[in-house]
Amino acid sequence: MSMTTISDCEKISDEELVGLVVSDQAYFVYIINRYQEKLLRYIKRISNVRHEEAEDILQDIFIKVYKNINDFDVDMKFSSWIYRIAHNQTISNYRRSQARPQISDNDISDLSFLNLKSDFNIIDDIDQKHLKIKILKILDLMEEKYREVLFLKFFEEKDYKEISDILKKPMGTVASLVNRAKKMFREKLVQENLKLY
């Protein structure tokens, strides 16, 4: 590793770190450290595979990131690019296994859950855990294209541009998908007898 110190590496931007990785493989560990927890959580959210399998997928993702590091486009956020690889790898993995992903409430943090709850103005007159389970059940029933945008928007807190870069869809399409997803989600909330403000 060159003159850049460990503390420097922790402070610099993803894009600068990528530049260092291109010249010295050893800097790749910093990218792994920055993203492994987020991506592991994301893999489990959208596929609900076992922890061990999620780690295998995570490894494949980082290998892919490393192999394609020269393809990173500086016009895009690095987080969008790595999430795109993570998304594609996870989807292709569960399509290969032909298992319908089922979401577990363990993989949804309280903060993400609160984001969703406040956006849909859900009155929480029932136990939080039960409310979470109901919401996750609704998400599970939704079509993949709507579920993935809701996850990226509410659980990964990505904005429309980032979602557009991750899913490789025009921003207008993303906005339209999010609106339709929210509408469907609201309808299902009512069907599940969940009260809204």
Q: What is the contact surface with another protein in residues (CB under 8 A)?
A: 22, 25, 28-29, 32-33, 36-37, 55, 58-59, 62-63, 66-71, 73, 75, 164, 168-173
Specify the 3-state DSSP secondary structure of 5. coil
Q: Which is nearer to another protein, 41 or 186 (CB)?
A: 41
CB of 139 to another protein, least distance (A): 25
Nearer to another protein, 130 or 161 (CB): 161
Q: Decide whether 65 or 122 has the Cβ nearer to another protein.
A: 65
| CB of 61 or CB of 139, closer to another protein | 61
What is the spatial distance between Cα 189 and Cα 154, in angstroms, rounded to a whole number? 16
Cβ 142 to another protein shortest distance, Å = 23
- Whichever of 28 and 155 has its CB closer to another protein, that residue is 28
Q: How far is the CB of 32 from another protein (least distance, A)?
A: 4
**Closest distance to another protein from the beta carbon of 34 (Å):** 10
Distances (CA, A) of 143 to 1, 4, 101, 140: 46, 46, 11, 8
Q: Return the CA Rg of the chain.
A: 18
Q: Using an 8 Å Cβ cutoff, are 54 and 44 in contact?
A: yes
**Which among 134, 57, 116, 131 has a CA at the least distance from the CA of 89?**
57
CB 84 to another protein: min, Å: 10
Of 39 and 138, which has the nearer Cβ to another protein? 39
Closest distance to another protein from the beta carbon of 58 (Å): 6
Dist. CA 166–CA 177, nearest whole Å: 14
Residue position matching structure tokens 């809204």 = 196
Give ∠ CA 42-130-135 in degrees, rounded to 5: 45
Instruction: Note whether 141 and 175 are within 8 A (CB).
Output: no
